[in-house]
Structure formats: structure tokens, C-alpha cells
Structure 1
Amino acid sequence: MYNPTNTNTNSFHLQKYYVSRSFMKYSTLAIAVIGGLGASFSAVAEKQTDGENVEKIEVTGRAQQFYLDSNTRVGTKTDADIMEIPLSVQVLTHQLIADQAARDITDLYRSIAGVSEFSYSGVTFRGFRDDANVFYDGVRGDPFSGFSVPQLFNVERVEVLKGPAAALYGGGEPGGMINYVSRQPSFNEEKNITVTGGNFSLLGASTELTGAVTDTMAYRFGAFYEAQDSFRNNADSENIEFAGGALFALGDNTQLTTTYDYIVQNLGGNRLRGVPVDDDGNFLVDPSYNANEKGDYQDLEALVLQANLQHNFNDNFTFNGTLRYLDNERDQAYHESRSWVDVNGDGVADINDETIQREYRANEELSLTLDFVYDTTLLGLDHQLLFGGDWHNVETQYDYLRARYEADGVGNLNIFDLNYGETDPSTYNLTDLDRDGLKRDRASIYVQDKIAFSPEWALMVGARFDYFDEQSMDTDTEYNDKDITPRAGLIYTPTQETTVYLNYSESFNPVDSSDYEDAGVTPLDPETGNQVELGLKQSWLNGSIMTTVAVYQIEKENLVISNPDYIEGENDDVEPALINFGLVESSGAEFTLVGDVSDNISITANYAYNDTLVKEGSTSNTYDGTRFANAPRHQAGFWARYNLESIDSSFAMGVDYVSEQISLDGQRVKPYTIFDASWTTQWNAMLLSINVKNLFDKEYAVSGFSERNGHFPGEPREVVVQVSYDF
């Protein structure tokens, strides 16, 4: 798999030195504290349980089965049943994550109607490209932001809200949002160790410990390690994570939960781009192709500290507040395809020359995030009232250095006869592009009221006021703006098993600071959107199955485009270079089914249709000015599990279908259908699971990028074996 030729020793050692230094920044203190907390909590817990019988009852609502869990806070910030929410919501349970051996979020897209992979952590969400509407425990602060994909070791479940989320969660694209619910400390005593292996040299181990320390204190400690080669040349990955925390019962009505999450991710031969294709979507070379050298890398280190305080003033008035701190540092050095080179001297640089140019980049980034969320519910005879606010502060430092082409010392690459190792990054003439990062502040207040007119009819209305201030440290350009985003949803419940809903919601997305500066004399307004959605939710078989059918139309306005009347150097004082103009329409329908049909059968299935068009103006992420790239019209996903009680085993099978897509440069991305399967067997306290992804080893592309970078190839067949032991 790997090309043994490698002369990039200086680059390799520089990279390792940086990572070691970065790791030590936290390791001396953080690892000692984390390890000490885990060991001490475990020891105290054992002593406590040996000396007395500690009993704690945790109230979590309706008992969760396998795949169906209708309890959620996403979309309303109140404890609610999905059947009572006038929004399209999905919950992916921990059991579903385990059955699919999902190790990062891309493994779960098959189970989310209307979501497909765009690139890295970016998705196409109801037709719109999005990589920023990511939340953890209902607040902003993604430790994997950028070109890393969220890992799932510290995730209990994944919640998805479809449509604009700005009325409660602030600015973003109108397609929807994803919320990761973290694993929490617990009074329930559990001790588990898991060992993982598989092809592509997959090797990993993890441990999970929870339990009571005292009558009023519980703990959690988790540790995770995994390393794997890639099917892509020169690439591999290493993931390290320590996570845990403590829960304090401060009386009968107050609970404080503190958690930490320390993450190290080392990706060799990254950032991964695509594989060149022809216009029909056929790979020109083997999907293992990678433009990166062996010494290239993408390394991430993040520390998340979070505190959540819940208090019940009385039966009708509660408080929920979260403080989240995030320190994230990322270092990258990679090669990227630029264009063909006229090697054969025919005067045309094209595929016949077989050689591409590359560029080399390195950057460092540091971000700090603080979130305050105030959530209260005032429950009267006819009202459920929520009011609160949040504040979000981000500061980034960004260094961007680049070398291009042979003039800067970057060697060309023959993609048909790979000549890795002939270029040496330590000799490149790197140019500092003076990218210094930004400062961003967002503050908001919001209110929501759910009014029950009768047992059958209810109305949920709400609005949020946002103020945001952004400063570019490149140019010291600073601007601020504000926006109000309303939302309303009508609920009709003719029976306990049926809910019909109609909602209207809005979104906004602040202007990028660089666009704001380039605009000139007339300030730009935020991009805005609105959605109308009609849906039907149905509960079947005494609540064992739930289905949702939804149809929607989204309109997005105020796109930022070039001003056709602007002439640089002639009318700068009267005409802006960029203006707000344009309209995008996204229309679609979705169907989801999730349920535990019987004690032995669990199932989740979905289908989505979407058609997104640029009606006026132009925007990025399109391939012909009217249709969005990587926006499939049809998607379908299915996963079913069958328990074989007689032999303490279960078998599961799944399928993922995505219809034809088009890349940013108009090249076809072929439709694909992928099958997966798993087998699980229990022996007393030991659990063996075998998962096979891409069962028939299909060659396919998950999405398209540019012509020079190609399509992102899907992974070939992967076998993952896990042995888990509870003690």
C-alpha cells in the first residue's frame, strides 16, 4: 500500500517534533490529572460499594429499547417527545451506533434522511452545503472543526434537526443541524474494556468506567486509542482520546455535571483530496491514489472542559445552564493537485501529459470558545415557556504558508507512474500569505412558548435576537450586525398515535469578514432563509414503531455575488464590488421509520427526495450556475437487526443508496448502493461483534470536488472485529 521510497526525512522529523511539543503542552498536567481522576474515582467507588450498598435511581424518561428513542431536547431545549414537536427530528441511539460499528459521523449518514457526504466533515443538508451547524450537548464548540471528521467514542447518541435552527441556535445554513450528546458520569456502576482489530492494520482499545464515589457524587472515565492504515497511498491515522468527569447531586433539586474531553488526532498523508476522474465519473487511476507525500500530515489537539448546572425551583420552573471551554490546535502540511503539465510538448497541458502540479501548505490554528445557555421552562395550565440566551466567543490564530509549482521547488507528480519521494518539502520556497485569523462575538436572547388550546391543538411560537461582531486580524476590518429570526409550528393531534404539524422557520448566516471588506461602499447584509414544512408523524404497534413523512420548501436569499456594474479603479466610490442578490429554492420530501418491532427485530429506514435550484443570481457550490454540486435527488438508507435469543446472538444488515451527483466542475458522480452486515455474539460478560462494511467491495465515489482534485473515493471492504468485556 505504501510507496517505500521516501526522502522527506527532514519534513518528517519536523512534523514529529511539533506534535511532540504540542502534545507535551497538555500531557504533563492533563494526562496526570485525567489518569489520577480515573484511578482515584474507580478506587473510591470500589471501596464505597464494598462497605455499603449505594443505590441511586436515575430518571431518564421512557425506557430506551434498541433503535427507538423518542425523547429529546433538540429543537425545543425542553424535554419533549418527538411526537409532540412540530419539527422533523431524528435520534440515532447508542445501540444503533454500536451495531453499525460507527467510529465517526460519516458511518451514520445512511441513517439520516436528507443528509449526504460532501467532503471531510461537510455535508449536503436538504440541498445546502454545511459544515458549521454542529453542536455538542446543545451548545457550540466543535473540537473537530475544519478538516477533521467528528469521532464517536465520547458520543452517547446523535440528534438531527431538519430545517432552519436559528430561532434557538443562531446563525447557519437553513438545511438543519447535528447535535452530539456526550457520554456522562453515572451512579450506575459499569466497567468495560474493548479491543478492536481489522484489515488495513486496524488496532485499537478502549475502556469505560462509571459508578458512585459517594452518595452524592458519581464519575466517568474513558480512554480510547486506535490506529489504522488507509487504502489511500501514504495515509494512516491515529486517534487518542481521554474523556470523563464527575456528577454532583447538590441536594434534591440541583445537579452539577463537569466533564472533560482531551483529543489527539494524527493523520498521516493528509489532507486527503480526491482521485481524478473523466467526465462520466470513471476513476482515471486506482482509488488508492493520493497527491500527498508520505511525510505530509494533519494533526489535531483539542481540550474541552464543560460544566452543566440543572436546578428545579419547583415542579413548574427549572433552570439548565452550560459553560463550555474549547482549546483547539491544528497543524497541517500537504500537497494538492493544481493543473496538468505539458510534459509531452504538444502545446496543451492535459491528461495526456500524465503529470500534475502541486502546491504545499502549512497552517496552525488556535480557537477558544465560551458558551452560556440559559434554559427555563415555566409550565402553566396552557403554556410551556422557554426563555434564555447565549454568548459565543471565538478567537483564531492562523498561519498560512504556500509553495507552488517547480519555481518554488515543488516537484510534479505523474499520477499514472507515481514518483513519490522525489520532492523535498524542506527545500521549498514557502510564502507567508499573511492570514492571521479572526475574532468573533455572538450574543443572543430567545423566547419560546408552546400553547395548548385543547388536547388536540397546540401552537409553538418563538424568536431569537442575535448580535454579532467580527474582526479580521489580517486587515483589522471589523463589522457588526444583528438579526431577529422567528419560528412557529402548529400541532394537531387527533389521536395519541397521530400528529400532523405545519411549521415556518427562518435562518440567517453572517457575512464572511473578507467579503465584508471586499464589498466596498455598501455594507453586505447576512444571508437569510425561510422554510415551510408540513409533516405527519405516526406511532404504530403500541409505540414500537414511529414514522415521519415531511414535505418542505426552503428559500435562501441575499446571496453574496459580484456586482456587474462595478469597475475597479473607476467607480469604487459609488459602486460596491460585492452585492446581496439572488434566490435559491430547495424543495423536497422525506420519510423515516424507526422502531423495535418486537423483542427480536429492530429497524431503521429512510428515503429523501430533494431538488435545489438557484432561481436568481449565482453562488458557489454550483456546477452550472443553477444546480448545487453534491446534492443528490434521491437517497435511501436501511438497517435491520434480528436477535437470535437461542444462541445469544444478533445479525444485522444494511444498505445505503445515493443517486447521481455532479461535482463542482460538472463531472458526473455515479450513483451507488453499498451493503453492510454485522454479527454479534454474547458469552456471559463478553461480547464479540464482527462488522463488514461495503460487503461486496464496490468501487465508488461518495461525492465530487474539482476537476483537478477529482472525486472522493468511498472506502473498500472493511472488516472490524471487536471484543468487549464487562467486569
Structure 2
Amino acid sequence: MKKVCVVSCWFPLVAMGALGLPSQALAQDEAAAAEDIDAADNIVVTGQRQAYRGDFTLRETPQAITQIGQELIDANNLTRLVDALDLSASVARQNNFGGLWDAYAVRGFAGDENLPSGYLVNGFNGGRGFGGTRDVAGVERIEVLKGPNAALFGRGEPGGTVNIVTKRADFDTRGRINVLAGSFDRRRADADVNIAVGEIAAVRLIGFYEKSDSFRRTIGSERVGFLPSFVFRLGDDTTVSYDLELTRQEADFDRGTIAIGGVLGRVSRRDFFGEPGDGPIEADATGHQVQFDHKFSEDWSLLIGTQYRETRLEGFSTEPELATARQRLFRDGRSLSRQRRFRNYEGEHFVVRGEVAGRFATGSLTHRVLMGVDYDEFDNSQLFLRFRPAAIGATTTAQATNDIDVFNPVYGRFPLPNPGPQTNRLDQQRAVGAYVQDQITLSDSLQIRLGGRFDDITVESLNRANTVAASRSYSRFSPQAGIVYTASPAVSLYAAYGEGFRANLGATAAGTLFDPETSKSAEVGAKFGLFDDALQGTVSLFTLSKSNVLAADPANPGFSLPIGKARSRGLEVDLMGKLPGDIDLWFSYAYVDAEARQDVADLNFGLPIRKGDRLINIPRHTLSLQASRAFAIGDTRLTLGGGVQHVGTRLGETGTTFDLPDYTLVRLFAAWKVIENVEIFADVTNLFDTVYYTNSFAQLWVQPGTPRAASVALRLTF
């Protein structure tokens, strides 16, 4: 595994994007599509054309898409990807690995819980690896591409794909600086400066720095990032762009709070049950993207790109033991037995792709086609050491089980145990894919989409502890189809179907590699505009299923078998834009019924999962609502707004009846534009100081939500 360290790059660049109004996401997408086919005087934006998307407006795309734009990110004072995804009711938080990676499910399906959730960055697979949580300082918009699109993207979950569109250099010289201070000694600064060098080149320099304590005692984090981009204009129709990602994060590993006897709230949500002496875990990411964009004509274009990304996560942690025989808490109700772990995880990810997009006519039919190929390499190296408490017996001491009193935590009571060998493995995946899509305009009101993707994948696994190796190759074709009917200028109806698959890394106890997860998905929906398209929305019904889900091998603890099946179905309603009275509105609601479809054993504990059991961390009902309005006060502008988020009851531990309670959060915010280039922002989150829990892995690994918090920010633009 290669390692890249660029310490000299770090400097505390200033500010925090904290202001603005909720964006009209559909309108933004229409504008982005228009930019892709702009004339030569706007040629720089062609470097932002997204692979797999084409030049389709949202109305004529047979799938539900939610866009979270820069203004909405600013208005909600968001700095992390998962916080932004909370705005989409279709997305549910999952186990976040002690706060050190992003994990979420779209429409009920989350993927491999032992890895961060996968997402795209400018169309590249970018979420793999161990680079920590994603900051939004360099994010232009976040696209939640829901439904049957796995046939085109490949290697994803059937519920949908998250694509992050980054801020890239263009030929408009400008900048902004943001600074923020908030509760729990939070301090943040970021800056974004774009500089045009004549008409030939441009550079955009983005950086952020944040340091914060937590409402959880002894917990803290520090993050820094440098995200520059460069664009070079090689001619009226050709651009080359380069993007660099350098981020370094340090955070204390925190498995959260505990439920005693299955009951939450018996201990303070502020108490930390690890060991401060472990020190922080470091998560680093170094990534490079290069894209070449050329327009042959107004109808045909070529996009070629490559990405290389290295990530690393390393450090110690002390975590509650989950096995009943080794956990004293299950006996006396106050002594929490704990493991101590050391991790050195590394990921290397290389992608190269090429895509041709164009349009042509056959008689009275108009075809818009995408044709592409891609190659993907991912190496997942994991060194994992562990100290585990002894089985509880009559003579087992508190030191032997590394206990802590949950009602009166005393840190450093015992010497920190030395973890011993547990896992030392290297899993590798090599994948070649080709895809084609043709959207055919049959009439002014009717379009059909046909396409598919072929993938050939090789997976290799090496157990470096015993030198046992295995390798396997497989291939699959995944079809896609859709139809769009324009019922009126304000309403379009659509239906879509798609298949896909995702490789399962790892092996059985006998060293046999897994088949990939296979999936099928379908949806029908309507897209509409109200008040002369000022308010736009989508209503969709969906059903998804997948098989070859990994589950535990009852005869071989710690290993897995591909015997699981799952299904998800539901309803979504999304509205965004402007109501009469100049009120900006964001509304997102989802009903998701996600369940197991086969009697199996749970992957982690061997607990029975019955057909019909709910999937972990998936609420049936989720709602996100936000409204704001701007008022003129003399020569200044004051914006006042508020929001509500409701998350329903969720299963908190697979194979049990342990639930996380539902919760409703309220936030208020205000933005005051003092003069043209100066704006002040303030917000209060969790206004009523609700006690809530965002996600869980087990009854002893539950993540509590943040109490009431406030922040104030200043934004300067130039």
C-alpha cells in the first residue's frame, strides 16, 4: 500500500458557509443541464458535465432525484455530508463507526455495514475507503439519485446513489470567507477563492479548519482540508480539469451510550464509556481527479476521466463488549466490560472512465445516447488487533474484563490492555464495465429510455495471518428501462425498472469468495410544478429487492455466508421552491417498509432473523420541513426561518425487539445581510433540547443526538 503525506499543505484557511436561502433544487438542475450545452463563451462549465447523467432535465428523467444545493447547505449551517442528507427523507442514518465514517441507507438499503457508504464524487466512485467523514466545504451540490439506476452506475445499492458535485474552477474571479463559533467550543473557518488567469486557465482554492469539543465528556475532534481545483482551456470546445483532495481528521472513537436491560436513558447521554487515554484516531484522505471534456459539435461530446484516492484510518479505541458471556453489565446492571482495539485500515481506489454523449434522429424519432466504459480497482487492507474481556465467572476480576462503572465513570482505573492479533487481511476488487443508454423521443409528450450495463469483476482475498488466498471472477448484465409521459406543461408521469449488483468483499470460513448482491428495483411517479413552476415536486412509489446479502455462519463465528434476502417498498413526496408570499419551502416525506425476506442468522451475533423482520435503523416515517422568508429593512435584508425533522421508530439491534424511539427536532435560523458583501448568520438546533438517538448497532452501541446548540457565523464575499 502506498502512502502519501503532505503535511506542508496544511494551514488554517478561513471560514464557514453558513448563510443563504433554501435553493430551488429542480431549477438548479435545469440550469446545470443548460450549462452543459452552453456556447463557447461558457465553455469552462463543460468540465462539470457529470458522467452517467446526460443532458436531461429532471422532468424528463424517469427516476426521482433530490438536489441539495449550496444555498440550502448554507441556510442550514451544514458542514458534513450526513447532516446534509438528513434533508432528504429517503435517507436514513446507519452505524457510523464511532463517528469516523459516513453511513446511510437510501430507501431502506445500506450495503455493507463494515465499510463506509459508497458515493460518487463528480461521477467517480469516491466513498470507499477510510478517509473519515466528508466535509461539505468543497461541495457545490449533493444529488440523491434514487431508484432503478444501478444498471447504469453499477456496483451500487438499488435504493439509490449519492453523487457529490464539487466546486470547480471557472473564469469568474471571486471569493468568500466564513468564520463560525458555536456551542461545545466549536470553532470553524473556511475560504473559497476562484482566480481566472486570462481566458486560458483558472484556479479555485478551498480550505477548511474546524476544532470542536462535544456534548459527550472528554470527546473532541479536529479537521483540516485543502481542496483546490484547476481548469485549462485548450480550445473553444476542449477543457481539462484537475481536482485535489487533502483531508486530515483526528477524533476520539465513541460508540455512544448504552441501553441497560433494553432501556435507554438510564445513564447520562453525556457520559463517555471509552478511555481518553487511547487518544484520537486519525483518518486521512488524499485524492486526485483529472477530466478531459471535448465537444465535437452541439450534439456530440466526449468525457474521459481518472481518479486515484488513498485513505488511512489508524488508532486505538476502548469499546463495550457485546457478547453476553463476557459482559458483566448484563449481570449487575452497572459494570460495563470493554474490549480494547487497534486498527490500521488502508484503502487504495483507482478509477478510469470514458463516455460519449450525443443525439441523432432516425426518421421522426430523436435519440439521446450515452455510451461508456469504466475500470475500477479497490484494495481494502485491514490490520485489526483486539483485547477481549474474559468470560464472566465467580473469580473473574474487574481488571480482567476492563470494567467501567456506567453511573460513576472513572477513566484510567486499570492499565490499558495490550490488544493481540485478530485480523490481518487484504481484499481486492478489479472491475471492468460498459454501459449504454438511449432515451428516445417518440412524440412531444412521450419518451422511453432503454439501456443496460455489463460488468466483469474479479475479487481476491488474502488472509495474511495464515497465507490462505482465494480468487474468483464473475460477470453480469444489468438492464434498465423507463418511460416518461408529459401530461401537461406542469406535469410529467414516469415509470422505471432496473437491475444491478454490488460485489461482496471477504470470504467464508473455508476461504470461498461470495457472489455479489443482486438487486431489482421499480418505481412509478409524477413530477409537477405549481405557481408557474415556482414550487416543484415529485411523488413516487417504489419497490426494491436484493439477494446474496451476507449473514453469519452459525458454525463458524466471525465468518459469513451469502444467504440473506431483503425487500423495501414505500412512498416519497418532495416539494421545493417558493410559495406565494415569497416563502421559500423545502418539504421531504418518506414512508419506507424495509424487511428481511428470508430466515437467516444475524451477521454479527448469530441471532435469528425472521422473514418479515424490519431492517436495522430504517424508520417507516421520516419528514423534513423547512420554510423561510426574507424581509427588507432599510438597505439591509433579514431572513427568518425554521425547520422540523421527524424520524420514526427504528429497529436498534438486528434479531431483537430493541427499538430506538422516534423523535422530532425543531431549529430556528436568521440571516442578516448588513451590506452587499457582509452577512451574519445565527441558528439554534434542537430548540426544545429533545433527547434522541440517531442510529445504533446494538444495545450497547447507541449514538445519542446532540442537545440544544447554537452558532453564529460571519460571511464575507468579494
Same topology, TM > 0.5: yes
In structure 2, the residue matched to 1:440 is 429
Assess if the C-alpha contact under 8 Å between 1:491 and 1:499 holds in 2: yes
Deviation at 1:275, TM superposition (A): 1.1
Q: Residues of 2 paired with 1:372 and 1:454: CA distance?
A: 37
Q: Does residue 337 in structure 1 map to residue 326 in structure 2?
A: no
Bigger CA drift: 452-461 or 289-298?
A: 289-298
In structure 1, the residue matched to 2:482 is 489
Q: Residues of 1 paired with 2:438 and 2:601: CA distance?
A: 36
Q: Does residue 535 in structure 1 map to residue 535 in structure 2?
A: no
3-state secondary structure, aligned to 2:82: helix
Give the AA of the match of 1:627. Answer: R
Deviation at 1:246, TM superposition (A): 1.3
Q: Residues of 1 paired with 2:638 and 2:619: CA distance?
A: 37
Q: Does residue 248 in structure 1 map to residue 248 in structure 2?
A: no
In structure 1, the residue matched to 2:617 is 630
Give the AA of the match of 2:599. Answer: G
Give the direction of change, closer, same or farther, for the CA distance of 1:412–1:562 in structure 2 (3 Å limit): closer
Deviation at 1:204, TM superposition (A): 1.7
Q: Residues of 1 paired with 2:430 and 2:52: CA distance?
A: 24
In structure 1, the residue matched to 2:409 is 418
In structure 1, the residue matched to 2:695 is 703
Q: Residues of 2 paired with 1:562 and 1:651: CA distance?
A: 51
Q: Residues of 2 paired with 1:708 and 1:496: CA distance?
A: 54
Bigger CA drift: 604-613 or 165-174?
A: 165-174
Q: Residues of 2 paired with 1:393 and 1:418: CA distance?
A: 45
* Alignment map for 1:145-160 (pairs within 5 Å): 145-146=129-130, 148-160=132-144
Assess if the C-alpha contact under 8 Å between 2:339 and 2:388 holds in 1: yes
3-state secondary structure, aligned to 1:194: strand
Note the alpha carbon deviations across 1:667-721, whole angstroms, 9 max, x for none: 1211100011111011222111012111111111122321232x21011111121
Note the alpha carbon deviations across 1:541-588, whole angstroms, 9 max, x for none: 222111101011112223445789xx89xxxxxxxx976545422110
Give the direction of change, closer, same or farther, for the CA distance of 1:673–1:512 in structure 2 (3 Å limit): same
Give the AA of the match of 1:691. Answer: D
Q: Does residue 554 in structure 1 map to residue 539 in structure 2?
A: no
Q: Does residue 320 in structure 1 map to residue 303 in structure 2?
A: yes
Return the match for 2:196 from 189, 205, 212: 212
Q: Residues of 1 paired with 2:647 and 2:450: CA distance?
A: 35
In structure 2, the residue matched to 1:176 is 160
Q: Residues of 1 paired with 2:211 and 2:10: CA distance?
A: 19
Return the match for 1:465 from 448, 454, 476: 454
Q: Residues of 2 paired with 1:140 and 1:615: CA distance?
A: 29
Assess if the C-alpha contact under 8 Å between 1:676 and 1:691 holds in 2: yes
Q: Residues of 2 paired with 1:669 and 1:578: CA distance?
A: 27
In structure 2, the residue matched to 1:70 is 29
In structure 2, the residue matched to 1:690 is 682
3-state secondary structure, aligned to 1:645: strand
Task: Answer 1 or 2: which has greater helix percent.
Answer: 1
Q: RMSD across aligned C-alpha pairs, in angstroms?
A: 2.8
Q: Residues of 1 paired with 2:148 and 2:331: CA distance?
A: 43
Q: Residues of 2 paired with 1:580 and 1:286: CA distance?
A: 39
Assess if the C-alpha contact under 8 Å between 2:142 and 2:164 holds in 1: yes
Deviation at 1:340, TM superposition (A): 8.9
Deviation at 1:619, TM superposition (A): 6.0
Give the AA of the match of 1:469. Answer: T
Unpaired runs of 5+ in structure 2? Answer: 15-22, 34-48, 97-101, 391-396
* Alignment map for 1:91-106 (pairs within 5 Å): 91-106=67-82
Assess if the C-alpha contact under 8 Å between 1:68 and 1:93 holds in 2: no
Identity %: 23
Give the direction of change, closer, same or farther, for the CA distance of 1:203–1:399 in structure 2 (3 Å limit): same
Note the alpha carbon deviations across 1:233-255, whole angstroms, 9 max, x for none: 22101010111121111110001
Deviation at 1:493, TM superposition (A): 0.7
Unpaired runs of 5+ in structure 1? Answer: 1-21, 39-63, 569-576
Deviation at 1:186, TM superposition (A): 1.8
Q: Does residue 366 in structure 1 map to residue 346 in structure 2?
A: yes
In structure 2, the residue matched to 1:573 is none
In structure 2, the residue matched to 1:641 is 628
Q: Does residue 506 in structure 1 map to residue 499 in structure 2?
A: yes
Return the match for 1:89 from 65, 69, 92: 65
Assess if the C-alpha contact under 8 Å between 1:652 and 1:677 holds in 2: yes
Give the AA of the match of 1:493. Answer: T
Give the direction of change, closer, same or farther, for the CA distance of 1:554–1:430 in structure 2 (3 Å limit): same
Deviation at 1:128, TM superposition (A): 1.7
Assess if the C-alpha contact under 8 Å between 1:68 and 1:594 holds in 2: no
Give the AA of the match of 2:518. Answer: T
Q: Residues of 2 paired with 1:623 and 1:527: CA distance?
A: 21
Give the AA of the match of 2:442. Answer: F
Assess if the C-alpha contact under 8 Å between 1:528 and 1:558 holds in 2: yes
Give the direction of change, closer, same or farther, for the CA distance of 1:579–1:192 in structure 2 (3 Å limit): closer
Give the direction of change, closer, same or farther, for the CA distance of 1:369–1:582 in structure 2 (3 Å limit): closer
Note the alpha carbon deviations across 1:397-433, whole angstroms, 9 max, x for none: 32211112269966311111101122333xx332122
In structure 1, the residue matched to 2:120 is 135
Q: Residues of 1 paired with 2:628 and 2:329: CA distance?
A: 53
Q: Residues of 1 paired with 2:560 and 2:423: CA distance?
A: 23
Give the direction of change, closer, same or farther, for the CA distance of 1:504–1:65 in structure 2 (3 Å limit): closer
Assess if the C-alpha contact under 8 Å between 1:66 and 1:596 holds in 2: no
3-state secondary structure, aligned to 1:106: helix
Deviation at 1:339, TM superposition (A): 5.1
Note the alpha carbon deviations across 1:425-469, whole angstroms, 9 max, x for none: 3xx332122413222211101111001111111111111111111
Deviation at 1:378, TM superposition (A): 2.0
Deviation at 1:623, TM superposition (A): 7.8
